[in-house]
Amino acid sequence: MNTVAERLRPLTGHRLFWPALVLVVMIAANTAYRPGFLAVEVKNGHLYGTPVDILRLSAPLILVALGMTLVIATGGIDLSVGSVCAISGAIACLHISEAADQNSASTVATALALAFGAALVLGAWNGVLVAVIGIQPIIATLILMVAGRGIAQLVTEGQIITINSEPYRAIGLGHFLTLPLAVLIALAAALLVAAFTRRTALGLIVESVGGNAEASRLAGIRSRRIVLLVYVVSAACAAVAGFMVTANVSSADGNAAGLWIELDAILAVVIGGTSLAGGRFSLSGTVLGALIIQTLTTTVYAMNISPQTSLLFKAVVVIAVCLVQAPAFRARLRRRRRGVQTGPTAPQREKEQVPA
Amino acid sequence: MTGDRPVLTMTGISKTFPGVRALHDVDFRLFPGEVHALMGENGAGKSTLIKVLTGVYGTDAGTITLAGEAVSFTGPMQAAAAGVSTVYQEVNLCPNLSVAENIFIGREPRRLGAVRWGEMRRRARELLTRLDLDLDVSAQLGTYSLAVQQMVAIARAIDVRARVLILDEPTSSLDAGEVAQLFRIMRQLRDEGIAILFVTHFLDQVYGIADRITVLRNGTLVGEYRTEELPQFSLVEKMIGQELDVLERLDEQQKRATVTPDGQAPLVDATELGRRGAVAPFSLRIHAGEVVGLAGLLGSGRTEVARLLFGADRADHGQVLLDGGRSPLRTPIHAIDQGIGFCSENRRAEGIVPELSVRENMILAMQAARGWLRPIPRRRQDELVQKYIEALSIRPANPEAPVRNLSGGNQQKVLLARWLITEPRLLILDEPTRGIDIGAKAEIQKLVVQLSDGGMAVLFISAELEEVLRLSHRVAIMRDREMVAQLTNDDTLDADRVMRTIASGTPREEVHR
């Protein structure tokens, strides 16, 4: 028993082991419930099936969570991503709806550029509040989280803007090389962010700022610029997610687009093994985390869990996932199984303190 | 008026933490109506003694008697209820609450569970009047100066009919006028018969107010003295505890006072550099290849000088010339661009990034200087890291180990490597050998000599005079946040003279006090 555990140590010790295990268990449970769960077929040259759906539906969440990962790694948090989704989607749809030819590629390109630019400004706003003015990230981004919904409503003038644009719709529902375009966009974004952080020194510097801000300052890191940058990246990711969400339904709803996506994104980051305290981050972990959350959502629908209890069900699973991942919890579980008393550990720890 | 019988006696107190003997057989007594200074360098055991007294820690051995009765407190609350109150260095009150609330928080006058606000304000006013303080008790505490906040903390402490008042470095963030105000209140409380235990690093303050002094060193009692019978020089000597024969052996070693030729422009030329509340304006020149030692007691402003020269804190007075050109050292990155490196004394909070690997910690400063868009190629990183792991014999020699898993000495070497990789012209080392084992200490000292021989200027800060004298060409001496002297490290300079200068504030041989 012990030797097996020893031999598996390199595997179980990997930071992605637990999130990956959770995903596998979820897929196994679904397959047991409905054997056809993993079936994928080709129709009209496109791939179809539940796994493909999960990938496609998780694309916006993956995008938002990628940006969120960097923000969290600096020790911050970005609550405004849902609102940025709504605003960017609204601006893009508004521009397209006012055009003479909604199917023109140049119209769509201009719309995307406009909306993307607006998102960068919003990200810079967050960054300035946090990095320059020094407001706590949760408060600073809460401002845009709340006000952003209002801005989105202003853009759409309180209406739901419906568009009829094939090129725009493709962002959410199109296919390329048999795969949904949204999946490819999310994949490209993940690779881009990975290259952006790991091919440059940005990742190291973000981790350093999140790990010890004062030490980083004394090592000469201009942490303000870095912090500002990650909020801009986060908003940029959210903007693309906003395009997908609105393209899926060919309409922009200032209230509903990207609603609560910030919470799912934070959850994806945490499940992926990045600490909310900042420091080390894992982009692949975040992608896994986003897939876990989307699989869970799909499971809720697939298992016909009633809408009244579905949120509760999700919550229970999420708590279980987080507990399984926590080394402290696993250690306690193991001790209990061995029947070792755990009582007197707390006071002992206090005694071990070194004198001040 | 000092009473004949001590109100508090601590006898044979010992306390051991894993790996550290914090207190060993320490006696301490406190008489009613006296101000008693507890003195000692960092790690001497002052804080531990206070924490043992107030019940934060238990004792391994020894007894504590308060007013003739053996006591053993389980915590500061119980100690305060018995009349032993503590005011800490950092004012731990709530600035967003009112003065009255702060005084009575946790023990508000109540009737049927409801707080009696009027009664609370009335009693707060009474208490403050007793301290000769005229404050609006309903105003937010945060609107008052730190000194006033400190006094409100004292008011809170003495409300519980204190017999013993412990003031743990209450003056460290106060200016001269505020200190005078605090002392007036301390004298008044003393005259009322309260016994005051006073911890400070400022020698002038000790001689300004203390009736009696107890000195601790390395967890043992050096002695208890009446202030007028203990000259400042003897106090410093007892705190630092140099043994004469060790010093004499050092004197035989080659002195390093081969100062750079006159006329050579200094690398760093600081003129009247200062920052209010941190360090009084000082002027200091450092030449290439020169090691300047910075000596002084803890809290004398050594670190503050280093931080100003590195731009870690912004100077509000004076200027710095680097290579003869004026250069604003507003932030660390400016200093690094000019070829200055700074190893903080606070390794944990200001040095290492614990989660990151040895390699990442080492290249951090160089990478920061290059900017994130120009990453150091991995092969170059590995070369640099390998070179310094070998040169500084860092253990374990694994560049990918998280730095938090290394011992203190090895973490210190990683930080040294971080700066050496940037090839600085001036390296500021603040207590680089504190808390590390003898072997690592000798290696770091050797390294400093090598670096300066190679043309690097070093500002070397240490509490250990032996080290400073061994390595420095010149020694600048700090006392009470002021640079009081700069002495060439020639044959006439020894630890004795440095201690005299620290004690008296003047570099002259004959000291009257």
**Mutation to test the B interface, candidates A196, A199, A204, A230, most B Cβ within 10 Å:** A204
- Reduced to 3 states, what is the DSSP secondary structure of residue B30? strand
- Reduced to 3 states, what is the DSSP secondary structure of residue B290? coil
ipTM greater than 0.85, yes or no? no
- Reduced to 3 states, what is the DSSP secondary structure of residue A42? strand
> What does the pLDDT look like over B198-253, one tens digit per residue?
988 778 888 989 999 999 987 889 999 999 998 888 888 888 775 444 434 444 44
The CA distance from B55 to B68, in Å, is 18
The CA distance from B479 to B497, in Å, is 14
> What does the pLDDT look like over B477-503, one tens digit per residue?
998 889 999 998 887 888 888 888 888
- List of E strands, B360-424: none
Q: Does B1 touch chain A (CB under 8 A)?
A: no
Crossing angle of the two packed helices A81-98 and A105-127, in degrees rounded to 10: 150
Domain ranges of chain A: 51-327
- Chain A residues touching residue B168 (CB < 8 angstroms): none
The CA distance from B63 to A78, in Å, is 55
φ, ψ at B146 (rounded to 5°) = -60, -35
The CA distance from A31 to A52, in Å, is 15
Dig out the tokens for A230 from the structure: 């990650």
| DSSP letters spanning B87-104 | E-SS--S-TTSBHHHHHH
The CA distance from B175 to B166, in Å, is 20
Using CB atoms within 10 A of its CB, is residue B235 exposed (0-12), middle (13-18) or buried (19+)? buried
Nearest by CB: A212 against B45, B354, B367: B354
**Mutation to test the B interface, candidates A218, A229, A233, most B Cβ within 10 Å:** A218
Q: Does B306 touch chain A (CB under 8 A)?
A: no
**Residue of chain A nearest B312, judged by CA positions:** A218
Dig out the tokens for B435 from the structure: 């808390």
* Contact status, residue A66 vs residue A217, Cβ threshold 8 Å: no
> Which B residues in the span 32-91 are in contact with A, Cβ-Cβ below 8 Å?
45, 47-48, 51, 57
* Contact status, residue B237 vs residue B203, Cβ threshold 8 Å: no
**Mutation to test the A interface, candidates B17, B54, B364, most A Cβ within 10 Å:** B364
**Mutation to test the A interface, candidates B13, B353, B373, B429, most A Cβ within 10 Å:** B353
Q: How many contacts (CB atoms, under 8 Å) link A and B?
A: 101
The CA distance from B366 to B377, in Å, is 12
Cα B269 to Cα B264, B331, B449, B479, B489: the distances in Å are 12, 18, 22, 21, 20
The mean pLDDT value for B427-449 works out to 81
Q: What is the nearest CA distance from B492 to chain A, expressed in angstroms?
A: 37
Nearest by CB: A219 against B51, B355, B368: B368
| Cα-based torsion angle of the residue sequence B48, B50, B52, B53 in order, rounded to the nearest 10 degrees | 170
Share of chain B above pLDDT 90, in %: 33
B114-121 long-range contacts (CB < 8 A, ≥24 apart) are none
The residue type of B221 is L
* Contact status, residue B504 vs residue B511, Cβ threshold 8 Å: yes
Residue B256 confidence class, pLDDT cut points 50, 70, 90: low
According to DSSP, the β-strands at B325-326 and A161-162 are: unpaired
- Chain A residues touching residue B48 (CB < 8 angstroms): 355-356
Check pLDDT > 90 for residue B46: no
> What does the pLDDT look like over B58-96, one tens digit per residue?
888 899 999 888 988 888 888 888 889 888 766 678 888
The CA distance from B16 to B267, in Å, is 47
**Residue of chain B nearest A356, judged by CA positions:** B47
Cross-chain residue pair B364–A219, CB shorter than 8 Å: yes
Cross-chain residue pair B375–A200, CB shorter than 8 Å: yes
> What does the pLDDT look like over B303-329, one tens digit per residue?
999 999 999 999 998 989 888 787 778
Nearest by CB: B353 against A201, A202, A211: A211
- Reduced to 3 states, what is the DSSP secondary structure of residue B109? coil
- Chain B residues touching residue A204 (CB < 8 angstroms): 356, 360, 364, 367, 372, 375
Q: Does B261 touch chain A (CB under 8 A)?
A: no
* Contact status, residue B360 vs residue A201, Cβ threshold 8 Å: no
Cross-chain residue pair B342–A226, CB shorter than 8 Å: no
Nearest to B66 by CA among B14, B119, B10: B10
The CA distance from B184 to B182, in Å, is 5
φ, ψ at A251 (rounded to 5°) = -160, 155
Crossing angle of the two packed helices B495-504 and B244-252, in degrees rounded to 10: 120
Q: What is the DSSP letter of B140?
A: B
Cα B284 to Cα A33, B71, B448, B459, B463: the distances in Å are 78, 52, 20, 11, 19
Q: How much is the pLDDT for A335?
A: 77
> Which A residues in the span 215-234 are in contact with B, Cβ-Cβ below 8 Å?
215-222, 226
**Residue of chain B nearest A275, judged by CA positions:** B355
Q: What is the nearest CA distance from A78 to chain B, expressed in angstroms?
A: 22
Q: Does B411 touch chain A (CB under 8 A)?
A: no
Cross-chain residue pair A220–B51, CB shorter than 8 Å: no
Q: How much is the pLDDT for A353?
A: 37
Place of tokens 């409801």: B114
Categorise residue A190: left if φ over 0, alpha if ψ from -120 to 50, beta otherwise: alpha
| DSSP letters spanning B319-344 | EEEETTEE----SHHHHHHTTEEEE-
Cross-chain residue pair A218–B332, CB shorter than 8 Å: yes
Dig out the tokens for B187 from the structure: 């004298």
Q: Does A43 touch chain B (CB under 8 A)?
A: no
- Chain B residues touching residue A73 (CB < 8 angstroms): none
Element (H, E) at B459: strand B457-461
The residue type of A28 is A
> What does the pLDDT look like over B264-301, one tens digit per residue?
788 999 999 999 888 999 999 999 999 999 998 877 88
Nearest by CB: B17 against A205, A279, A354: A354
Q: Does A27 touch chain B (CB under 8 A)?
A: no
Q: What is the nearest CA distance from A275 to chain B, expressed in angstroms?
A: 11
Q: What is the DSSP letter of A160?
A: P
pLDDT tens by residue, chain A, 356 residues? 456 666 776 677 777 888 898 899 989 988 998 888 888 888 888 888 889 999 999 999 999 999 999 999 999 999 999 999 999 999 999 999 998 888 888 999 999 999 999 999 999 999 999 999 999 999 999 999 999 999 999 999 888 999 988 899 989 888 888 889 999 999 999 999 999 999 999 999 999 999 999 999 999 999 899 999 999 999 999 999 999 999 999 999 988 888 889 999 999 999 898 988 899 999 999 999 999 999 988 888 888 888 788 788 878 888 887 787 777 887 888 777 765 444 443 333 333 333 33
Give all domains of chain B, ordered by start, each with its CATH number.
Answer: 8-230 (3.40.50.300), 245-339+426-513 (3.40.50.300), 348-423 (no CATH)
Of A230 and B19, the structure prediction assigns the larger pLDDT to A230
**Domain with residues A51-327, CATH architecture:** Orthogonal Bundle (1.10)
Nearest by CB: A220 against B47, B356, B369: B369
> What does the pLDDT look like over B335-347, one tens digit per residue?
999 999 999 988 8
* Contact status, residue A272 vs residue A264, Cβ threshold 8 Å: no
Q: How much is the pLDDT for B439?
A: 66
- Reduced to 3 states, what is the DSSP secondary structure of residue A311? helix
Q: Does B324 touch chain A (CB under 8 A)?
A: no
Cross-chain residue pair B45–A356, CB shorter than 8 Å: no
* Contact status, residue B13 vs residue B25, Cβ threshold 8 Å: yes
φ, ψ at B481 (rounded to 5°) = 65, 30
- Reduced to 3 states, what is the DSSP secondary structure of residue A98? helix
φ, ψ at B396 (rounded to 5°) = -70, 150
The residue type of A93 is C
